A = this chain, B = another copy of it.
Amino acid sequence: MYEGAVQDLIDELGRLPGVGPKSAQRLAFHLLAADEDEVARLVSALTEVKRRVRFCSVCGNVAQEEQCRICLDPRRDTTVLCVVEEPKDVVAIERTREFRGRYHVLGGAISPIEGVGPDDLRVRELLSRLASGEVTEVILATDPNLEGEATATYLARMLKPMGLRVTRLASGLPVGGDLEYADEVTLGRAFEGRRLLDV
């Protein structure tokens, strides 16, 4: 329907999550009419993010070096480990300023429907981090939805026999939602009220 290059851009934008055909068209025409500079900045941000960003070799968070800023920070408490699904969850928790330990990013949650099992997550890496015995508490901060709860239960059953204190973020987070959408106060309270998992 459109000239080739415009249609190509609409198609590529329409592949992004949450961008429908009408939004893709609106974005494409915005970019078409935008300054060369604006588009150049977007292109450069896309290129740079693929070129420079990698995942921390320790915790799996996004990083620009071999390790992320949190793993490299000597002021962080190395005895408490907070397990989350995604790097954006790290950012949401950092925003509360309630937590001074370190993180472990699983890269998702167990989901039989989507065919994601424990082996598809960074569970092995978690176990080898715990092997040194430095960590005494693991906070399971997976999303408060079906997959997140299943993942927390799975990990708790595995970690409790290792003599670790295994906790889960307190209720207070709206069930069925995504951790990243909780406001700072709710998420902070959830940290304060974390409970021992009884499995």
Contacts and interface: CB of A to CB of B under 8 A. Distances in A.
Given A22-B181, A42-B12, A52 B5 contact: yes
B53 A6 contact: yes
B26 A18 contact: yes
Contact of A9 (B13, B45, B88): B45
- Oligomer copy total: 2
Interface in A63-89: 63-64, 68-69, 86-88
Given A1-B91, A6-B49, A32-B62, 7 more contacts: A3-B62, A3-B69, A6-B62, A16-B31, A31-B49, A36-B50, A43-B46
A64 B4 contact: yes
Contacts of A63: 3
26 contacts: A1-B94, A2-B62, A3-B63, A3-B64, A5-B51, A5-B64, A8-B45, A9-B49, A12-B45, A13-B42, A16-B31, A18-B23, A22-B181, A29-B86, A29-B88, A31-B46, A31-B50, A32-B49, A32-B50, A32-B62, A32-B87, A39-B46, A39-B47, A39-B50, A42-B46, A43-B47
Interface residues of A, number: 54
Nearest to A61: B3
Given A1-B94, A3-B69, A46 B16 contact: no
Interface string A84-114: 0011100100110000000000000000000
Interface of A: 1-6, 8-9, 11-13, 15-19, 22-23, 25-32, 36, 38-39, 41-43, 45-53, 62-64, 68-69, 86-88, 91, 94-95, 180-181
